């Protein structure tokens, strides 16, 4: 019996995903480099050169003081980048005494201090790396409460995390203040801009290497960067952050490797470069502005209908839509999700058009009648 060829989901009604339709150039580049492995750069040298360009491109977006010299690599996603940032900070803490067993040398577990809004990848990082994750409460507008962060750090704090574009509400933490707290505590400072990194350059928010003494930063091409999955990004201000991750690789042509994965996707690397070549800066600016307009429009439409709306800061809208209406929207084919507190959450990614949002509100109106 012939089975029907499976079709990937169309993005038409996908409203809560942080993935999007890749740029056509990125799709083509990914296909060309499908059978390459940047994990073995001496053999797959063309893709290794592309990876250097990807890092330079990402470092340019993130205002690295010298993008051509920035340390970093194309990860499998934001999760790997965040895990590696925690691992690097742990290994470097207290002159390297935090290496390997997670204890700060005195038998006490090292810790990472992050706002409660931090992505769940930090929970994975803590579990894998044997560090304690201290999540601290948010302020009244879903941002890290700096007093709570200051109270949570101590001399076993290896890393303080700030989120620039939180996964649930799209909020940007007070990056400058958090960096100062980290510095005072003798900890490294990491910014998680996995989702926000391709939008933030076109806003006034402080988030980048230029805005604060940021040590490491996560920025994912496969989210707002319109690159195909898998393409995340880890950047570091200094080589030492990546050197702290390197292990010896006896049987490869290159001698050491700082990545978490071994064999990895040349498609992700080539796709990321092609997307940035095509879209930085004007294409990304247009996408960011369109997304912000759409988020404002949707927030207003939901507020007009009497819902409690969390004002969008980046293009992400959360609104208190009751369960029966949420379920009816799902039944109508809308791929929407809820925040931990139960709000409907719409991420205005590049594929989310005004006409899709209009159809979404029309369906909501029908459901409410
Ligand atoms: C999506 C996201 C991640 C995780 O990235 P993956 O690519 O899904 O591994 C981490 N941090 C933030 C803020 C995110 O939005």
Would you state the pLDDT for residue 161? 99
Closest CA to 44 of 262, 227, 218: 262
CA dist., res. 75 & res. 69, Å (int):
18
Would you state the pLDDT for residue 49? 96
Contacts of 186 (CB under 8 A, 6+ apart): 94, 155, 157
Would you state the pLDDT for residue 46? 97
Would you state the pLDDT for residue 2? 78
Would you state the pLDDT for residue 256? 85
**Which alpha helices (DSSP H) does 216-353 contain, by range?**
239-243, 266-279, 282-304, 323-331
Would you state the pLDDT for residue 324? 97
Closest CA to 211 of 194, 232, 233, 189: 189
Q: How far is the CA of 195 from the centre of ligand 1 (A)?
A: 6
φ/ψ of residue 134, rounded to 5: -100, 105
DSSP for 150-217, please give it: HHH--TTEEEEEEEBS-TTT--B--HHHHHHHHHHHT-EEEEE-TTGGGTGGGSS---STTTS---EE
Residue nearest (by alpha carbon) to ligand 1 atom 12:
194
Would you state the pLDDT for residue 101? 56
By DSSP bridging, strand 216-218 and strand 232-236 are antiparallel
Tokens at 121, concatenated: 């990848």
Q: How far is the CA of 158 from the centre of ligand 1 (A)?
A: 21
Model confidence pLDDT, tens digit, residues 67-111: 999 999 999 999 999 999 999 999 999 877 666 555 555 567 999
Ligand 1: nearest atom to the Cα of 229: 7
CA dist., res. 240 & res. 93, Å (int):
12
Q: Which residues line ligand 1 (CB under 6 A)?
A: 18, 77-79, 82, 119, 121, 163, 165, 167, 192, 194-195, 220, 232
Q: How far is the CA of 196 from the centre of ligand 1 (A)?
A: 10
Closest CA to 357 of 345, 348, 366: 348
- Most informative mutation of 119, 192, 265 for ligand 1 (most atoms within 8 A of CB): 119
Tokens at 165, concatenated: 């574009």
pLDDT lower than 50: segments of the chain: none
Give the other-Cβ count within 10 Å of 94's Cβ: 16
Would you state the pLDDT for residue 20? 97
Would you state the pLDDT for residue 6? 92
CA dist., res. 189 & res. 216, Å (int):
7
Would you state the pLDDT for residue 129? 97
Would you state the pLDDT for residue 255? 76
**pTM to 2 decimals?**
0.96
Going along the chain from its start, the domains and CATH numbers come out as: 24-279 (3.40.640.10), 282-368 (3.90.1150.10)
Residue nearest (by alpha carbon) to ligand 1 atom 5:
78
């Amino acid at each position: 019996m012939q089975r029907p060829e499976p079709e990937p989901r169309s993005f038409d009604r996908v409203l809560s995903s942080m993935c999007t339709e890749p740029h056509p150039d990125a799709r083509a580049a990914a296909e060309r480099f499908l059978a390459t492995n940047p994990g073995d750069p001496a053999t797959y040298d063309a893709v290794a050169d592309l990876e250097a360009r990807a890092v330079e491109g990402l470092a340019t977006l993130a205002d690295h003081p010298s993008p051509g010299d920035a340390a970093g690599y194309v990860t499998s996603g934001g999760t790997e980048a965040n895990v590696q940032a925690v691992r690097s900070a742990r290994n470097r803490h207290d002159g390297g005494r935090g290496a390997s067993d997670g204890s700060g040398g005195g038998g006490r577990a090292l810790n990472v201090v992050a706002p409660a809004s931090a992505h769940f990848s930090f929970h994975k990082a803590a579990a894998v790396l044997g560090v304690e994750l201290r999540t601290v409460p948010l302020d009244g507008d879903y941002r890290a409460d700096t007093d709570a962060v200051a109270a949570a750090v101590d001399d076993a704090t290896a890393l303080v995390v700030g989120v620039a574009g939180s996964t649930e509400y799209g909020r940007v933490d007070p990056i400058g203040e958090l960096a100062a707290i980290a510095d005072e505590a003798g900890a490294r400072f990491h910014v998680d801009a996995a989702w926000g990194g391709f939008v933030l350059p076109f806003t006034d928010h402080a988030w980048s290497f230029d805005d604060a003494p940021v040590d490491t930063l996560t920025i994912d091409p496969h989210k707002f960067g319109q690159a195909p999955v898998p393409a995340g990004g880890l950047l570091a201000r200094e080589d030492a952050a990546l050197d702290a991750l390197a292990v010896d690789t006896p049987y490869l042509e290159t001698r050491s490797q700082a990545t978490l994965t071994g064999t990895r996707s040349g498609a992700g690397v080539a796709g990321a470069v092609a997307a940035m070549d095509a879209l930085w800066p004007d294409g990304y600016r247009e996408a960011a502005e369109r997304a912000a307009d759409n988020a404002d429009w949707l927030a207003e439409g939901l507020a007009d209908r009497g819902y409690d709306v969390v004002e969008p800061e980046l293009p992400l809208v959360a609104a208190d839509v009751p369960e029966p209406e949420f379920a009816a929207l799902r039944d109508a084919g809308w791929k929407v999700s809820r925040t931990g507190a139960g709000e409907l959450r719409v991420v205005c990614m590049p594929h989310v058009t005004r006409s899709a949002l209009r159809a979404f509100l029309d369906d909501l109106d029908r459901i409410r009648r």
